[in-house]
A and B are shown apart, each in its own frame.
Chain A
Amino acid sequence: MTVQEVRLCGLLLQEHFGEVVEKVGTLMLKNGAQNLRTILHETGMSVDLVKKSLCVLVQHGACLFISGRKGPGSPTEYRASCDQILRILRYPRYIYTAKTLYGDTGELIIEELLQRGHMTMSSTVKKVADRLTQNMEEGRSMDYSEVSSAFSSLVETHFLQRCPQLGGAAMKEGTAPADAVTPAAPAAPASTAPPTAESFSDCYKVPQVTLIGRGKRQLASEDGEDQRNAKRPRMDSEVHGDEGIYWQVNFERFHLHFRDQAIITAVANKLDQTSSEIVRTMLRMSEVTTSPSATCTKPLSANEIFRSLPAGYNISRPILDQYLTLLVDDPMEFVGKAGESGGGMYVVNMHKALTNLARATLESVVQERFGSRSARIFRLLLRKRHLEQKQVEDFAMIPAKEAKDMLYTLLSQNLVQLQEVPKTPDYAPSRTFYLYTVNQLSTARMLLQNCYKTVANLMERRLFETKDSKRLLEKSQRIEAILASLQASGAEPEQLTEVEEMITAPEKQQLDALRLHINKLDSAENQVDETIFLLESYINSTATSAS
């Protein structure tokens, strides 16, 4: 956890949950696992507030609690998970993906679940149906069954998953001596890993069957009723059969989807649409069979690929073979050949693909920031590993003076490293080789930190902009409220325009500019997040491929 990460987490927490939660969250991020007493002492807030904010964090999976780390009977400790908090940044992208894949219903389901951390299926379905009905025309309403089928298809494709049983805490207490070491040890490095593994067996399938039954049964009684009034009593009285089974968004699945999309787009850019379609087919086929962290997909035969190609795509078998050969021959090595059986076995090499994408990202950063000539030097070093200054000048065909300047700038920005190879043990400059090199992994790590800082900067700026024109925003909100109430009461048109004119022209201009600024900052945050995602996946993939 770096300073930049903590800063960004703090801002995200503040934006989504307010200042109190932010204070507790940042404290936990900075100091690691702590018990309630320490948190109280450090923050100086009331027990009630701290407990509530811990609740909020636990609800969203941003905080984990372990009991008995220091032996049986010791107080429960809380630990904030940085990764989970940073995912808040990606919420818009999750929601957007759900929208493109499953339409408005999918979008709302994901949105509700993200906002609430975890929910039961029945309450999600009801809530989403209510919201959809509200947006529909008078007299029409959303069928519960439609929503629940969308929900189950999201579960089927693993975009949603069951929360790990939180009752485990009680169980742990019972078997304290045996369990005391095991949960604590794996929880330390990867906080989310153990619960997901624990619930893996019935994570997606088992409850889903019973729930579909519930969803259909509710539909008959629900239809045509007024949602607002009908909801509360039913919540209390009716039993949906899925109490205690909570659902959450499966971020990993979304990330796999993003990764696949990135690979497909890259292939489309590099080769052509048809090749990208083939890679898409291959990735879709291996979605279920390949584990998320695998470096390569399971081998697929050309025959299988041919059969699974979308029907609309008119590719004959020999053409497919040609495309596959082209993909294998491509120096980017997105696709590799694993064997000859079944008309040729092909794999998508995830690790290579991510490495190449990350490299392209680094190159693009250098290119945009230092110009295309520096990018030439950077690429040259990536290709040739170690080069002396003279060699760089010769290969890149850049005049010595400029090349020196660029190399030193890159070096000072830590994008390029310098390796000394002395001929004699005294490291005398005249008898030492100075070799320039690029270390892709560490450069990617550094850029990732820069990305975090950038997002935090953008958020700060956004907060600043809104704070700056707070009065104006409040005024416009008030006037809008007045307008709405006047309209509802059927006021005269003159009255309406009179109220509208309370915002003067320059004020209106200022408001428009502010809106534009906020939109720009928002979209920039999302764009930077794409870079963050690529770099994070690359860094994670090197960790898995090394072990």
Chain B
Amino acid sequence: MAEVKVKKETNVSEAAEVESRIKELCQQFPQGITDQVIQNDMPHLEPQQRAMAINKLLSLGQLDLLRNSSGLLYRLKDTQSVSKMKGSDNQEKLVYQIIEDAGNKGIWSRDIRFKSNLPLTEINKILKNLESKKLIKAVKSVAASKKKVYMLYNLQPDRSVTGGAWYSDQDFESEFVEVLNQQCFKFLQSKAEAARDSKQSPMVQRNSSFATSHEVWKYICELGISKVDLSMDDIETILNTLIYDGKVEMTVIAAKEGTVGSVDGQMKLYRGVNAIIQPTGLVKTPCGLCPVFDDCHEGGEISPSSCIYMTEWLDF
């Protein structure tokens, strides 16, 4: 009886030893170890004992079981998350894992339900729980204002979720965009004017009126109107809106690799231009801007003779 007891005791201490040894091994090989490695390290250990130790570690959540092409891999779980996950049940862990897999793009609660096969109410409870533990966070997507996506707490949301520099708290900062739009135009315009006043040959005049997107970017950065860091791409989107405003022209030229502001051997050049015509004659009349133009007929309720817009315009 006593013998048995002793054996069991040694067993317990032995088991603890094996566990710590396995953990050590895992720390040595952070990418994971196979069964073979443990076997080589502790040749005297019986397979049964080894299996028991691993099972215990797995159940404690200290070890991860991964499948590799060569077989099973054991890896030490992130201690931080382990400590965070303490006191959570399996369902919670599952949801956490799903959210973790989604990365910085986040995942919608409905997608979590599909992946985990848990009822929605359960998931909501778990999500609330995790959120209160500051393990995950909910981020409102700009794509759909009512759609919340979940991601790990420490992650920086992806551009597609936040909308990049143009959004703050899911709201499109149209004023910010307008200001940038005006500033970029001002920069290009002053450049074009300087070129026009330079009284050089026409070719030189035109070429000096061009500014690369890098120059515009630098100018905007130096102005310091933006609280967020803007990238070249951001500035190019702004410059594109100027093109659609008909105020700016763009040309692409080949640039030597490594030149400042060149992308893939291309450089985008922008310059301010003038409109080709004045506002056309039609819109100088009240009819050109009339909101009820289509309903206007002589003799009708709305007619040119009784038109109040026309009266106002004539008395102006």
Residues of A bordering B, CB below 8 Å = 265-266, 269-270, 272, 274-275, 318-319, 322-323, 325-326, 331-332, 356-357, 360-361, 363-365, 367-369, 372, 375-377, 379-380, 383, 395-400, 402, 447, 450-451, 453-454, 456-458, 460-461, 464, 513, 516-517, 520-521, 524, 526-531, 534
Contacts and interface: CB of A to CB of B under 8 A. Distances in A.
A326 B202 contact: yes
B147 to A, nearest CB: 13
13 contacts: A270-B273, A319-B201, A319-B202, A372-B245, A376-B241, A450-B288, A457-B287, A464-B305, A524-B284, A528-B281, A528-B285, A531-B280, A534-B280
Given A365-B283, A380-B244, A531-B282, A326 B275 contact: no
Contacts of A269: 274-278
A397 B304 contact: no
Contact of B172 (A325, A368, A395, A399): A399
B264 interface: no
Interface in B169-197: 171-172, 174, 177, 181, 196
Contact of A460 (B201, B244, B273, B304): B304
Nearest to B314: A517
Interface string B265-303: 000000001111111111111011100010010100001
A530 B282 CA distance: 8
B203 A322 contact: yes
Interface residues of B, number: 47
Contacts of B246: 363, 375, 379
B262 to A, nearest CB: 21
B237 interface: yes
Nearest to B307: A461
Given A365-B282, A369-B283, A379-B244, 5 more contacts: A325-B203, A400-B172, A457-B310, A520-B314, A528-B284
What 8 A-B pairs come out closest when comparing CB atoms? Answer: A527-B281, A368-B283, A454-B287, A457-B304, A464-B305, A399-B172, A266-B276, A460-B304
Contacts of B313: 520
A372 B283 CA distance: 14
Contacts of A517: 314
Centre residue among B203, B238, B287 by max chain A CB count within 10 A: B287
Contacts of B172: 399-400
Contacts of B19: none
Interface of B is mostly: helix
A530 B280 CA distance: 8
A361 B277 contact: yes
B88 to A, nearest CB: 38
A100 B201 CA distance: 33
A291 to B, nearest CB: 25
Contacts of A275: 202
Contact of B202 (A323, A365, A376, A402): A323
Nearest to B296: A457
Nearest to B238: A397
A458 B304 contact: yes
Contacts of A272: 196, 202
Contacts of B278: 269, 364
B62 interface: no
B289 A383 contact: no
A360 B275 contact: yes
B249 interface: yes
A379 B285 contact: no
B166 interface: yes
B273 A531 contact: no
A367 B282 CA distance: 12
A534 B276 CA distance: 13
Nearest to B289: A369
B240 interface: yes
Contacts of B281: 524, 526-531
B256 interface: no
A453 B292 CA distance: 13
Contacts of B275: 269-270, 360, 364
Contact of B206 (A326, A368, A380, A528): A326
Nearest to B287: A454
Contacts of A274: 202
A368 B288 contact: yes
Nearest to B279: A364
Given A364-B280, A461-B304, A461-B307, A450 B285 contact: no
Most buried by A among B237, B240, B244, B275: B244
Given A376-B245, A398-B174, A521 B314 contact: yes
B238 A375 contact: no
A78 B264 CA distance: 69
A191 B237 CA distance: 52
Interface in B213-266: 237-238, 240-241, 243-246, 249
A490 to B, nearest CB: 41
Contacts of B274: 269-270
Contact of B305 (A270, A461, A526): A461
